[in-house]
């Protein structure tokens, strides 16, 4: 079935009323409100499997993040990076179809805070949809992993999400994460590096060398072996630099 989104006016109304709507966020959600005008705008060309909710785990760990990302990315057919930047889609999903998951995922021992709602139920700008929104970030995880490992999505997700700083450094540096010729060899090198797996600062050092080496280069004109060899050299240089 096609997914739906809310209008820009609904997004604005919800965002401006977070503090006065916390009882709804903490309890029943917005299913009653979802029948109103502006809540059911069809997104052309994008469909989804409405059984998603039963497969999502609110647990905050690597395994759940990998599986949740796999489920969301696989179940949203026709989604593209351009469409995924539209806040209205993720606001609808977080407030209606996937509300229970979003609420439980960001509920702490002290409850669901206004700050958590403002950050994870909305998706303002590229960073909001890609990194902060409870559902949007899962789709973007899958998108980047699929560019690196198109035939083994779980493998790509496992590498990307092994440490929080790996995701942060790879995806924040958009010149790397979304270059198809680079992201595959890059994640393979990360996957095989014990240094990166065991040292949270290592990935930041490595990515600085990668971006310094590949900035401005048209990778599509280079043989795959040359890209892979250059990335390996970047890793060696990063390890040497960190040892000084």
Count CB atoms within 10 A of the CB of residue 228.
Answer: 16
**C-alpha pair distances (Å), 112 with each of 10, 34, 98, 205:** 21, 21, 16, 35
Q: Once rounded to an integer, what is the mean pLDDT over residues 143-150?
A: 95
Q: Are 26 and 111 in contact (CB under 8 A)?
A: yes
What's the confidence (pLDDT) of residue 179? 81
Q: Are 5 and 75 in contact (CB under 8 A)?
A: no
Give the pLDDT confidence of 177-187 residue by residue, as tens digits.
Answer: 778 888 999 99
Q: Once rounded to an integer, what is the mean pLDDT over residues 121-142?
A: 95
Counting every residue written for the chain, the total comes to 244
Is the pLDDT score of 216 beyond 70? no
Is the pLDDT score of 171 beyond 90? no
Give the pLDDT confidence of 11-44 residue by residue, as tens digits.
Answer: 999 999 999 999 999 999 999 999 999 999 999 9
Q: Are 189 and 159 in contact (CB under 8 A)?
A: no
Is the pLDDT score of 202 beyond 80? yes
Count CB atoms within 10 A of the CB of residue 124.
Answer: 15
Is the pLDDT score of 175 beyond 70? no
Backbone angles phi, psi at 49, to 5 degrees: -90, 115
> If pLDDT is split at 50, 70 and 90, which confidence band does 174 have?
low
Give the pLDDT confidence of 62-79 residue by residue, as tens digits.
Answer: 999 999 999 999 999 999
> If pLDDT is split at 50, 70 and 90, which confidence band does 84 have?
very high
What's the confidence (pLDDT) of residue 211? 86
Check residues 216 and 154 and name the one with the higher pLDDT: 154
Find residue 90's DSSP bridge partners: none
Count CB atoms within 10 A of the CB of residue 59.
Answer: 13
Cα atoms in the 13 Å half-sphere on the side-chain side of 201: 5
| CA pair distance 30, 14, nearest whole angstrom | 10
Residues above pLDDT 70, as percent of the chain: 97
> If pLDDT is split at 50, 70 and 90, which confidence band does 152 have?
very high
Task: Please tell me the pTM assigned to this model.
Answer: 0.93
Mean pLDDT, rounded, of the chain: 92
| CA pair distance 167, 64, nearest whole angstrom | 15
CA dihedral 166, 168, 174, 180 (to 10 degrees): 30
């Amino acid at each position: 079935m096609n997914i739906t989104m809310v209008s820009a006016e609904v997004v604005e109304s919800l965002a401006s009323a977070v503090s006065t709507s916390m009882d709804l966020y903490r309890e029943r959600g917005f299913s009653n409100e979802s029948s109103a005008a502006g809540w059911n705008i069809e997104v052309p060309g994008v469909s989804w499997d409405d059984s998603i909710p039963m497969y999502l785990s609110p647990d905050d760990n690597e395994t759940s993040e990998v599986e949740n990302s796999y489920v969301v990315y696989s179940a949203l057919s026709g989604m593209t990076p351009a469409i995924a930047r539209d806040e209205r889609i993720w606001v609808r999903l977080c407030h209606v179809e996937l509300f229970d998951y979003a609420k439980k995922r960001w509920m702490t021992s002290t409850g669901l805070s206004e700050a958590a709602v403002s950050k994870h139920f909305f998706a303002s700008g590229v960073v909001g949809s890609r990194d902060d929104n409870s559902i949007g970030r899962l789709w973007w995880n899958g998108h980047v992993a699929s560019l690196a490992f198109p035939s083994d999505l779980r493998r790509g997700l496992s590498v990307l999400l092994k440490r929080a700083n790996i995701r942060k450094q790879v995806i924040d540096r958009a010149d790397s994460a979304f270059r198809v010729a680079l992201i595959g060899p890059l994640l393979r090198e990360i996957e095989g590096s014990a240094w990166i797996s065991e040292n949270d600062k290592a990935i930041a050092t490595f990515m600085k060398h990668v971006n310094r080496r590949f900035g401005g280069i048209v990778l599509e004109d280079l043989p795959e072996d040359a890209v892979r060899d250059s990335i390996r050299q970047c890793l060696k240089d990063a390890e040497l630099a960190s040892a000084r």
